[in-house]
Amino acid sequence: MIGWTDEQRTLRAAAAELGAAVGKDHLERDATGEFSRDGWALVRESGLLGLPFGTEYGGLGADLLTTMYVLEGLGEACRDGGFPFSVTTHVVSTGVPLHRFGSAELKARYLPGVCSGSAIGAHAISEPDAGSDMMAMRTTAVLDGDDYVLTGSKSFVSNGPIADTYLVYARTGKAGAPDAITTFLVERDSPGLHVGQPMGKMGLKTSPLSELFLDGVRVPATRVVGKVGAGFLVLDHVMKWEILLSFVVNLGEMEHRLRESVRYARTRKQFGAPIGSNQSVSNKLVDMRIGVETSRKWLYDTAEKLVARKNVTTDIAITKLVVSEANLASALAAVQVFGGYGYMTEYGVEKDVRNAVAGTIYSGTTEIQRQRVAAMMGLG
Amino acid sequence: MSRIDEITRYVVAEFAPDIRADELDADYDLLDNGVVDSLGLLRLIGWLGERYDLPVDDIDLAPEQFRSVRAVDAFVESALVKGPAL
Ligand SMILES: Cc1cc2nc3c(=O)[nH]c(=O)nc-3n(C[C@H](O)[C@H](O)[C@H](O)COP(=O)(O)OP(=O)(O)OC[C@H]3O[C@@H](n4cnc5c(N)ncnc54)[C@H](O)[C@@H]3O)c2cc1C
């Protein structure tokens, strides 16, 4: 078990305070699908957006485990599930790849905006005909003088409607080859870049998402992030961080949900006894607890392995699968424990089910994670 | 066994089990010819990192470095110069 320092605990408490403030009007904003601009102003002030990045860029220079621990606190306190999703998307979509693969010039120019939150980040990988099979993407980038010209469309871009900077993955090589994809930094006001309308969705309604259309967008070759043809490797690095940072937020949410469900099961009486005294109810709570503990172990063990520079390709796939499925199971169980109140919108329990379904789809679906583990076992 | 032989054996065992190690030319294009796909690339990098204790997370990775057995060998050589993983 990791022993957290006072400093780490203080950072987490600050994130929790922030999360509680942002989440205050979560039901109203979930109903209207509104991103919290006030929340973004608060998170900018807090310094949280620059947690894992170097102080020379305005970041806090925290390590991966500290960053996760603080984000877990945000998830535990923030009832607006879409908001932390936008926060982690911002951090991992632009900050993480720039920090690891960006040229000195790109880092100096763009990382301060990531850390301060003045330039919201997003990444565009999925396409109408290339979701799980991202290597089949059709968006092309063709070198023309000192620029690449990007043409194509992207289907689901989280933060798309509010972003200032997009990391767009496009094909520069032979379709399907591992060296076919390159990562480009594209500014929102680039001529030929069209951001679609926010798309309605089942959950995470307060985190806006849109399509992106690239119609001959010229991007200077200096804005390639990583090497030409290294987009798949850039994305692999991003996905490790995305899974750890985004799903540790879900761990915090599960912890909160478990606590509330136990409290309810101990106080809600039917047939003259607390509902939690029935084993069929307490079993659900025990399973929720197992989900929390298993998720915590997978998340932090995998992070420790990553920090120790071990190969985590299999671990990260298992972590993603375990935590996203545990979160969904926990959200469904909570609705059942709360009964009719769980099902009604105004109690805020059912919303978690809608949010949790998304986690089994983005960052690679549950099925694809199984495929990955199988591939790493030399199968398929 | 030389390092290049060891890498050849791994590539054949993992990605081309139908051929013998001595049939794989060290310059054969593994990427263009579909021997190593994107997930295969991750497996190969993971194996190299652990087998040779390479700081793969500190290196500016590019698929070019894994195009052929000879390229992989050169990658390991240059990564070792940078020092073992901490
Ligand atoms: C809330 C949300 C936010 C998102 N944010 C972003 C973002 O910011 N940027 C971005 O680029 N994308 C984003 N996505 C897109 C997401 O990454 C894709 O939806 C996901 O990769 C699946 O692709 P797809 O939707 O095209 O489904 P498909 O790939 O068409 O899959 C459909 C079904 O078939 C299954 N399937 C497909 N192939 C296989 C296989 N080989 N074996 C077994 N089953 C298989 C899948 O698991 C799934 O159940 C987001 C999605 C959601 C829901």
Domain boundaries, chain A: 6-116, 121-229, 232-376
Give pLDDT tens digits for A124-174: 999 999 999 999 999 999 999 999 999 999 999 999 999 999 999 999 998
Question: With respect to CATH, is domain A6-116 assigned 3.30.70.1290?
Answer: no
Nearest CA owner, ligand 1 atom 2: A362
A158 Cβ inside 6 Å of ligand 1: yes
How near does any CA of chain A get to the CA of B65, in Å?
Answer: 10
CA distance A304 to A313: 13
- Residue in B34, B55, B67 closest to A309 by CB: B55
- Residue in B38, B47, B85 closest to A232 by CB: B38
Q: Ligand 1: which atom is nearest the Cα of residue A160?
A: 8
Mean pLDDT, chain A, whole residue set: 97
Nearest CA in chain B to A378: B14
- Six token digits for residue A63: 């390590």
- pLDDT at residue B85, as a whole number: 45
Q: What is the DSSP string of A109-137?
A: HHHHHHHHTSS-EEEE--BTTBSS-GGG-
Residue B42 is part of which domain span?
3-82
Question: Does residue A193 surpass a pLDDT of 60?
Answer: yes
Reply yes or no on whether A242 is catalytic: yes
Catalytic residue among A72, A211, A242, A350: A242
CATH of the domain at B24: 1.10.1200.10
Host H or E run for residue A326: helix A313-343
- Six token digits for residue A6: 């006072």
Compute the distance from residue A212 Cα to the ligand 1 centre, in Å.
16
Give pLDDT tens digits for A252-294: 999 999 999 999 999 999 999 999 999 999 999 999 999 999 9
The answer to whether the beta carbons of residues A135 and A202 sit under 8 Å apart is: no
- The amino acid at A102: G
The CATH architecture that domain A121-229 belongs to is Beta Barrel (2.40)
The CATH architecture that domain A232-376 belongs to is Up-down Bundle (1.20)
CA distance B31 to A263: 56
Average pLDDT, integer, range A37-50: 97
Residues of chain B with pLDDT under 70: 82-86
Number of domains within chain B:
1
CA distance B31 to A180: 10
Compute the distance from residue A315 Cα to the ligand 1 centre, in Å.
20
